[in-house]
Structure 1
Amino acid sequence: MSEFDVPLFHFSRGEFVEADYQDPLLEDYRNNPLLEALPPIWDDKTVVNKLASKPIFNASERDLPVHLRLHCVQRISRDFFRPLSRHLELQQSISRLIRDGYVGRNPLTPNYAFRARKDAYDLIMQGNTSGYPVNTPTSAGFALVGISGIGKSSSLLRILQMYPQVILHRKYRGQDMPAPFQIVWLKMDCPHDGSIRGLCLNFLLAVDSLVGTKYYKKNVTKNPDELLPLMAQAAAVHCLGVLVIDEIQNLQEAKDDRAAQMLNFFVQLVNTIGLPVILVGTYKALPALNGEFRNARRNSGQGDATWHHFKNDEEWTWLLQGLWKYQWTDKKVELDQEFIDVMYEESQGISDIAIKLFMLTQWRALDKEIESVTPGLIRSVAKDRLTLIRPALEALRSGKKAQIQKFADIYDSVSIDDYLDRIEAEQRQAERLELIRTELGYDVTEQTINEVSAWLIEAGVAQVIASQAAEEVTKVHLHELDEIDLHKEALKFALQKQVALVSNSAQQHSKSKPKVMPSEPNDLRVIVSQGRKKKLSAYDSLKATGYIKNPMEFLG
C-alpha cells in the first residue's frame, strides 16, 4: 500500500512539546513523569483567562468598503469565545480525569513497556478485565450529552488544547524513559456508520500521525476482533491520557449488536489499562449510553455532563454582552432587553445558533445598506435563513414534550434525579458566573480597564501605575472606547506617571541631603538638569537620551 492509499479523516490537533518536569504539588502525583510533565493544576481564574478569546476589532473598520467588512464579520464564529460556568466545570472534570488515569500508570515501574504491549493485548483478546497490574482509577470517564449546537465539541476541544497533545520524554532524573512519547489526549469522531473497524483504523492512523509509528499500514487488513486489542495496546504503549469519542450518536446507525460491543470495549479500556474515556453526543445518543458504559461509570467521581439550552437569564445576557461589541455595520447599537429577548426567542438559547444569527444579520444589513442591526432585522433573517432548523426551534418554543420528542438531537427525557441535579448545578452556575464576572469585569467599562491594565503589566509597567493609567484613560474616553487606541493612550499616561515619580523622588532626595551636583553624564539628574537649560521637560530629556522608549514599539 502506498502512502497515497491512506484514507483521510479528521481528528483534532494539539501542541507537541518536550517534557519539562515540575512539582505537581500533590504527593500522589509525584515521582511519575507522566504527571510531572503536565501543566500545573489551574485555578478557575486562570482557566477563565486562558479560555476567553476575542476577535480582532477596530471601530475604524466600520469605514472600510462593504466587501471587506463582510469578511470582518466572519471573525466572530472563528475567534469569539465567552467562558461560562459550564466550561469551568468541564475543565475541572478533565483535569481530574487525566491525572487520576495516570496515577496507576507509571512508566518507570519494572517492565512497564513490555506489560503495556503484551498484557493489554492478551487481556482484551481473552475478554479478561481483571488482574492487569495497574491501579484501576476511580474515574472511569463520563459522557457529555446535550442539545445540538450548544458548543459541546468546540468547548471540549478548546479545553483539551490547554494541554499539550504529545509530550516527548528523553530522560527523567537521569533515567531513560521506556516510552518516549506521551499522548495526553486524542479526540476523534465516531464513524458515521458506527463501524468498529473504522474507529480502530482511524485511531491507529491518528497515533501514526502523532508519533510516527506504522500501526495502520501493518494492520489495515485485519478484522475488528483483531483491531480492538491493537488499539488498546497502542493506547497503553503511548501513555494515552484520555480518549474522546465525539458524535457518539452515530452508534445508533451500527448494525446488529455493534453499538453494545463498542461501548463494552470502552469499558475494557478503562478496566485493563486505566484509560479514561469521554463520550460526546446529542440526546440521540442516550439510548446507546444506557447500557454497559453507564454501569461502568456509575461510580465515577466526575459525573456525566448534560448541556441544556440556555435560559433567558444572567448567563444568556453575559454571553450576548460579549458578542455585542463586534458590530461592523455603519452604526453600532447598544444591547438592551428587547435585543436580549429577540435573540433568545429566535435561537431558543442555543449559543451556536445565536452567534450565527448575529453574523447573518450583520451580513444582511451590510448587503442591503442598512445602517444598523434592529430587532426586526434579526426576526427577518431568522425567518429566511434558519429554515432547516425552524421546526426544531418551534418545538422547543412550544415547550410541549410530544413535539420536542420528534427531534432526537434536542430532546431530553428528564428524571426526578436529573431535575434535582439541575437545581444544584444552577446554584453552582451562579457562583461560577460571579467568579467569571469578577475576573473579566462586570460591564464593558470594567472589562476594558482590566484588559488594558493587564496589557500594561505585561509590557513591564508597575501594577499600581498600570491600574491607575487604565482607569484614568478608560474614564476619559468612555464614550469613544472603540474609536481610539486605548493601549497607546494608557502607555503614554503610564510613562509620564513613571517619569513624574522619578523626578519627585530625585527632588525629595536633593532636599534631604546637601546638594552635590552629580558628575556622571548618564546620571538621570544630570540629564534632567541639562534638559532644563534647553527648556526641555524631564520627560522629553529622558526620551531624547533613550531612557524612555517610543510607545509604538510595544504596540506591534
Structure 2
Amino acid sequence: MNDFDVPLFHFSRGEFVEADYQDPLLEDYRNNPLLEALPPIWDDRTVVNKLASKPIFNASERELPVHLRLHCVQRISRDFFRPLSRHLELQQSISRLIRDGYVGRNPLTPNYAFRARRDAYELIMKGNTSGYPVNTPTSAGFALVGISGIGKSSSLLRILQMYPQVILHRKYQGQDMPAPYQIVWLKMDCPHDGSIRGLCLNFLLAVDSLVGTKYYKKNATKNPEELLPLMAQAAAVHCLGVLVIDEIQNLQEAKDDRAAQMLNFFVQLVNTIGLPVILVGTYKALPALNAEFRNARRNSGQGDATWHHFKNDDEEWEWLLQGLWKYQWTDQKSELNQDFIDVMHAESQGISDIAIKLFMLTQWRALDKGIPQISTGLIRSVAKDRLTLIRPALEALRSGKKKEIQKFADIYDSVSIDDYIDRIEAEQRQAERLEIIKNELGYDLVEQAENEVCGWLVEAGIDRATAEQAAKEVVKSHLQELDAVDLHKEALKIALKRRSNKTTKTPQQRSNSNSKALPTAPDDLRVIVAQGRKRKMSAYQAMKTVGYIKDPLEFIV
C-alpha cells in the first residue's frame, strides 16, 4: 500500500506543543507528567474570555460599497461566538473528565508502556474488562444530545481547542519519558453507516496523522475484531485523554447488532484503559444510547447533557441576540427591541444556528435590495423564502409534541447560505462591471455600438441617414449578443436593402451625397477622429495629437 491509498477523512485539529510542566495545585494531580503538562484549571471568568469570539466590526464600514459589505456580513458565521452558561458547564465537565482519566495513568509507573500495550490488547481480545491494572476509572464519560443547530459540535470543539491536542514530552524530573507523545483529545465523526471497521481505521489514521505512526498502513486489511484491540492499544500507548465521537446517531444505520457492539467497545475502553468517551448526537441518537452504556456511566458524576432550544422568555436568548445585534452593515442600524426578539424566536424557534443564519440572510436581502435597515417584516419575508427546507422542523417545534420534535434530526438540513451569497455576488459583480464600463468609456454601450457601426457604414459609402437607421436596427435586434454577431456585416445588408428601395439618384446627387458623407479636409474633426480610430486612439487622444487640445499648463504664467 502506498501513500496514495490512504483515504481522506475529516477529524478536528488542535495545537501541537512541547510539555511545560506546571504545579497543578492539587495533590492528586501532582507528580504525573500527563497532568502537569495540561493548562491550568481555569475559573469561569477566564473561560468566558477564552471562548468569546467577536467579528471585526467598525461602524464606518456601513459607508463601504455594497459588494464589500456583503462579505462583512459573512464574518458573523465565521467569528461570532457568545459564551452561555451551558458552555461553562460543558467546559467544567471536560476539564474534570480529562484530569480524572489521567489520575491512574502515570507513564512513570514501571513498565507503563509495555503494560499499556499488552493489557489493552489482551483484555479486550479475551473480553475481560475487569481489574485493569493501570487504572481504575471513575470518569466514564457522558453523552451530549440535542437538536440539530443548537451548537453542540461547534461548542465542544471550541472548548477542546482550549487544550493542546498533542503534547511532546522529552524529560520529566530528569527521567526519559516512555511515551513521548500525549494526545490530549481526539474528536471524530461516527461513520455514516455505523461501521465499526470504518471507525477503527479512521481512528488509526488520525493517530498516524498526529504523531507520525503507521498504524493504518500496517493494519488496513484487518477485520473489526482485530482492529478494536489495536485501537485501544494506540489510545493507551499515546495517552489519549478523551475520545469524542460525534454524529453518534449514525449508529441507527448500523446493520445487525453493530450499534450495541460499538457501544460495548466504548465501555471496554473505559474499563480497560480508563479512557473517557463523550458521545455527541441529535435526538435520533437516544435509542442508540442503550442501557449498557448508561450503566457504564452511572457513577461518572458528570451527568449527561441535553441541549434544548431556547424559550422566548429565556434570559440567555435575549443575551445571545444582544451580542448578535451589534453586527449590522446596513445603511442604518436597527435597535434590538421586544418585537425583534419575538420575531427572531418565532422564525428560528430558539435554535442558535438558525437565528444567526437568519440574521445574516436578512442583512444580505436588505443590502441586495437597497433597503436601508432590517425590520421585523423583512425577517419574516426572508424566513418564508429562505428557510423552506427546515419549515417542517420548525413547525414540529412549535407544536410542542415530543414525537414530532424527535423527528427533527431527520428533517433538518443546514441552510444553504453559500448558494445565496454566490448568486447575490454574481448579480452585484455584473451590475458593478457594467457601471465601470459606462463610466470608463463615457457613454452607453448601445450608443457606442450604434455610432461605431454607423461610422463604418459611412466610410463604406452608405449615406449617413441610411447608415444611422441600419445601425440602430441591427444593434436593437442583437442587443443581447453584441459581441457574438458581426454587426458590420448585418448592418451592411440592411443598408443596401434600404438603398435599393430608394429612388435612384443622379450621379451629381450621389457625388454631393458622398462628398458630405466622406469629408476629406485634413482639419475636419470627423476626419481626425476617424483616422485616430484606425490607429486605436480615442477621440480625445486623436485631437490632442494634432494640436486641437492644449496643455492647460501652457496658459499658466
| TMscore range, shorter length | 0.7 to 0.9
Once the two structures are TM-superposed, the CA of residue 63 in structure 1 deviates from its matched residue by: 1.1
Cα distance between partner residues in 2 of 1:402 and 1:235: 39
Whether contact under 8 Å (1:144, 1:305) holds in the other structure is yes
Cα distance between partner residues in 1 of 2:381 and 2:190: 37
Aligned pairs for 1:411-490 within 5 A: none
Cα distance between partner residues in 2 of 1:140 and 1:47: 24
Equivalent position of 1:282 in the other structure: 282
Aligned pairs for 1:108-507 within 5 A: 108-312=108-312, 313-408=314-409
Structure 1 letter corresponding to 2:6: V
Once the two structures are TM-superposed, the CA of residue 5 in structure 1 deviates from its matched residue by: 1.2
Structure 2 letter corresponding to 1:379: R
SS in 2 for 1:12: coil
Equivalent position of 2:420 in the other structure: none
SS in 1 for 2:389: coil
Once the two structures are TM-superposed, the CA of residue 408 in structure 1 deviates from its matched residue by: 4.8
Whether contact under 8 Å (1:320, 1:340) holds in the other structure is yes
Whether contact under 8 Å (2:57, 2:327) holds in the other structure is yes
Once the two structures are TM-superposed, the CA of residue 407 in structure 1 deviates from its matched residue by: 3.2
Length-normalised TM-score, structure 2: 0.73
Once the two structures are TM-superposed, the CA of residue 402 in structure 1 deviates from its matched residue by: 4.8
Once the two structures are TM-superposed, the CA of residue 135 in structure 1 deviates from its matched residue by: 2.7
Once the two structures are TM-superposed, the CA of residue 405 in structure 1 deviates from its matched residue by: 4.4
Aligned pairs for 1:524-543 within 5 A: none
SS in 1 for 2:286: helix
Cα distance between partner residues in 1 of 2:136 and 2:253: 32
Cα distance between partner residues in 1 of 2:70 and 2:263: 45
Structure 1 letter corresponding to 2:359: F
Once the two structures are TM-superposed, the CA of residue 410 in structure 1 deviates from its matched residue by: 8.7
Whether contact under 8 Å (2:52, 2:81) holds in the other structure is yes
Aligned pair in 2 of structure 1 residues 410, 305: CA closer, same or farther (>3 Å)? farther
Cα distance between partner residues in 2 of 1:410 and 1:174: 58
Whether contact under 8 Å (2:41, 2:95) holds in the other structure is yes
Cα distance between partner residues in 2 of 1:114 and 1:409: 46
Cα distance between partner residues in 2 of 1:378 and 1:138: 49
Cα distance between partner residues in 2 of 1:405 and 1:165: 34
Once the two structures are TM-superposed, the CA of residue 131 in structure 1 deviates from its matched residue by: 2.6
Which ranges in structure 1 are unaligned for 5 or more consecutive residues? 412-556
Structure 2 letter corresponding to 1:160: L
- 1:173-224: CA deviations, max 9, x gaps? 1100000000000000000000000000000000000000000000000000
Whether contact under 8 Å (1:404, 1:410) holds in the other structure is no
Deviates more, 1:115-124 or 1:150-159: 115-124
Equivalent position of 1:6 in the other structure: 6
Whether contact under 8 Å (2:147, 2:409) holds in the other structure is no
Which ranges in structure 2 are unaligned for 5 or more consecutive residues? 413-557
SS in 2 for 1:389: helix
Once the two structures are TM-superposed, the CA of residue 132 in structure 1 deviates from its matched residue by: 1.6
Cα distance between partner residues in 1 of 2:403 and 2:170: 59
Aligned pair in 2 of structure 1 residues 157, 47: CA closer, same or farther (>3 Å)? same
Cα distance between partner residues in 1 of 2:409 and 2:183: 34
Aligned pair in 2 of structure 1 residues 223, 402: CA closer, same or farther (>3 Å)? closer
Whether contact under 8 Å (1:283, 1:410) holds in the other structure is no
Cα distance between partner residues in 2 of 1:404 and 1:281: 15
Whether contact under 8 Å (2:116, 2:134) holds in the other structure is no
Length-normalised TM-score, structure 1: 0.73
Aligned pairs for 1:10-21 within 5 A: 10-21=10-21
Aligned pair in 2 of structure 1 residues 42, 410: CA closer, same or farther (>3 Å)? farther
Whether contact under 8 Å (2:193, 2:254) holds in the other structure is yes
SS in 2 for 1:188: strand
Once the two structures are TM-superposed, the CA of residue 401 in structure 1 deviates from its matched residue by: 3.7
Equivalent position of 1:81 in the other structure: 81
- 1:361-387: CA deviations, max 9, x gaps? 001111111111100000000011110
Once the two structures are TM-superposed, the CA of residue 351 in structure 1 deviates from its matched residue by: 0.3
Once the two structures are TM-superposed, the CA of residue 61 in structure 1 deviates from its matched residue by: 1.1
Whether contact under 8 Å (2:311, 2:350) holds in the other structure is yes
Aligned pair in 2 of structure 1 residues 405, 268: CA closer, same or farther (>3 Å)? closer
Cα distance between partner residues in 1 of 2:310 and 2:87: 13
Structure 2 letter corresponding to 1:371: P
Once the two structures are TM-superposed, the CA of residue 250 in structure 1 deviates from its matched residue by: 0.2
Whether contact under 8 Å (2:203, 2:231) holds in the other structure is yes
Once the two structures are TM-superposed, the CA of residue 59 in structure 1 deviates from its matched residue by: 1.1
SS in 2 for 1:53: coil
Once the two structures are TM-superposed, the CA of residue 298 in structure 1 deviates from its matched residue by: 1.0
- 1:149-170: CA deviations, max 9, x gaps? 0000000000000000000000
Whether contact under 8 Å (2:149, 2:353) holds in the other structure is yes
- 1:230-285: CA deviations, max 9, x gaps? 00000000000000000000000000000000000000000000000000000100
Once the two structures are TM-superposed, the CA of residue 406 in structure 1 deviates from its matched residue by: 3.9
SS in 2 for 1:287: coil
Equivalent position of 1:449 in the other structure: none
Structure 2 letter corresponding to 1:22: Q
Larger radius of gyration, structure 1 or 2? Answer: 2
Once the two structures are TM-superposed, the CA of residue 395 in structure 1 deviates from its matched residue by: 1.2
- The alignment covers a number of residue pairs equal to 411
SS in 2 for 1:17: strand
Once the two structures are TM-superposed, the CA of residue 137 in structure 1 deviates from its matched residue by: 2.0
Once the two structures are TM-superposed, the CA of residue 64 in structure 1 deviates from its matched residue by: 1.1
Cα distance between partner residues in 2 of 1:64 and 1:408: 40
Aligned pair in 2 of structure 1 residues 177, 405: CA closer, same or farther (>3 Å)? closer
- 1:507-538: CA deviations, max 9, x gaps? xxxxxxxxxxxxxxxxxxxxxxxxxxxxxxxx
- 1:466-501: CA deviations, max 9, x gaps? xxxxxxxxxxxxxxxxxxxxxxxxxxxxxxxxxxxx
Cα distance between partner residues in 1 of 2:131 and 2:65: 69
Equivalent position of 1:538 in the other structure: none
Structure 1 letter corresponding to 2:220: V
Equivalent position of 1:23 in the other structure: 23
Cα distance between partner residues in 2 of 1:81 and 1:12: 18
Cα distance between partner residues in 1 of 2:44 and 2:407: 39
- 1:370-428: CA deviations, max 9, x gaps? 111100000000011110110110111122345334435699xxxxxxxxxxxxxxxxx
Whether contact under 8 Å (1:309, 1:350) holds in the other structure is yes
Whether contact under 8 Å (2:148, 2:408) holds in the other structure is no
Whether contact under 8 Å (2:284, 2:406) holds in the other structure is no
Cα distance between partner residues in 1 of 2:78 and 2:58: 17
Equivalent position of 1:477 in the other structure: none
Cα distance between partner residues in 2 of 1:394 and 1:309: 13
Equivalent position of 2:507 in the other structure: none
Whether contact under 8 Å (2:120, 2:273) holds in the other structure is yes
